[in-house]
Structure 1
Amino acid sequence: MSTPKIREIQPEDNQQVASVVREVLMEMGAPKVGTAYEDVALDDMYNTYRDDRKEYFVVEEKGKIIGGAGIAPLPGLEEKVCELQKMYFLPEARGKGLGVKIMDTCLQFAKEQGFEQCYIETLPYMKDARRLYTKTGFKSLDSPIGNTGHYSCTMWMLKDVD
């Protein structure tokens, strides 16, 4: 039995990461427009997360990317608020505690970068994801903050980075 490993994204991971995100969005029935599905950055995640105060982490098992999540400054509130971005897991990665582990990794990075709060946008039918966010301290908001461009995401959450 191999143990999945969490590590920083590498250039050779780009295609697998884009595939994971799009596959999970399609599985969940998410719209292709107004979500991460159509993000230009999705096809070059390594370079997208090379800027200051950004990082994307992947979960790798037996050489295959089975999930990932990233942290980046939230557009419009860059100084103090980051966004947990593109957190998606293939079915074989779910229910193993990997969501909590990668979220801890992301939030530790956010803290090291001096962010005070972490924001996330999600969809109503992503119940398992929302349960995880709530369990780890995210609180629901009545409206979006920042400017992500993901107008199809209708649930917003925020957590203090501590």
Structure 2
Amino acid sequence: MTSAVSSPIQQQVQVRLITAADNAAIAQVIRQVSAEFGLTADKGYTVADPNLDHLYETYSQPRCAYWVVELNGEIAGGGGVAPLVGEAEDLCELQKMYFLPSLRGQGLARRLASQALSFAKEQGFARCYLETTASLTQAIALYQRLGFEHIAGALGSTGHVDCEVTMLKTL
């Protein structure tokens, strides 16, 4: 599934499903963006994610998908959706939405999140959950615009002990 994006950088951006060859590049993007926002071990954040270097394999499972965003042929962002571990079959999680500064402000996060939510609905999910941290104010604002509502506590078994913002959306 490949799609163009309507923004000033339309000719330079491609959104497509992840391939095995993308693993190292998207893991690097996630690490770089995490460091940019201070989400690092030295700041008290738990950063060990056993799936980070194997996202293609992780999202090749049933009812999962992860899209990467290429800018001028280089991976510069991504995001995905998967069933929420430890919860009912109708509940998925929006996961690993990370974008380098070169992609921000172009509407790509909104487009990718909307694409993930549409995929989730097609897969039979009725609700979508997400976790983030309060320092990611622009992400939280986007999620609210997409219809996510704050909920009192964490759901499922995500292992994201540092994510104090939890949100839920009916699909």
Shorter chain as normaliser: what TM range?
over 0.9
Structure 2 partner of 1:86: 96
Q: State the TM-score, normalized to the length of structure 2.
A: 0.89
Structure 1 partner of 2:32: 23
Higher RCO structure, 1 or 2 (CA under 8 Å, sep 6+)? 1
Maintained 8 Å contact 2:39/2:45? no
Tell me, yes or no, if structure 1 residue 108 matches structure 2 residue 118.
yes
User: Following TM superposition, by how much is the alpha carbon of 1:78 offset from its aligned partner in structure 2, in angstroms?
Assistant: 4.4
Give identity over the alignment, percent. Answer: 44
Structure 2 partner of 1:144: 154
Please give the per-residue CA displacement for 1:59-96, whole angstroms capped at 9, x wherever unaligned: 11211111100100001114010000000000000000
Structure 1 unmatched runs, 5+: none
Structure 1 partner of 2:18: 9
Which runs of at least 4 in structure 1 moved beyond 4 Å after TM superposition? none
Structure 1 partner of 2:6: none
Counterpart residue type for residue 145 of structure 1: L
CA distance in 1, matches of 2:65, 2:45: 22
Counterpart residue type for residue 43 of structure 1: D
User: Following TM superposition, by how much is the alpha carbon of 1:34 offset from its aligned partner in structure 2, in angstroms?
Assistant: 5.8
CA distance in 2, matches of 1:3, 1:137: 29
Please give the per-residue CA displacement for 1:2-31, whole angstroms capped at 9, x wherever unaligned: 341111001111111000111111100114
Equivalent pairs counted in the alignment come to 160
SS for the counterpart of 1:66 is strand
Structure 2 unmatched runs, 5+: 1-8
C-alpha root-mean-square deviation of aligned residues, in Å?
A: 1.3
SS for the counterpart of 1:84 is strand
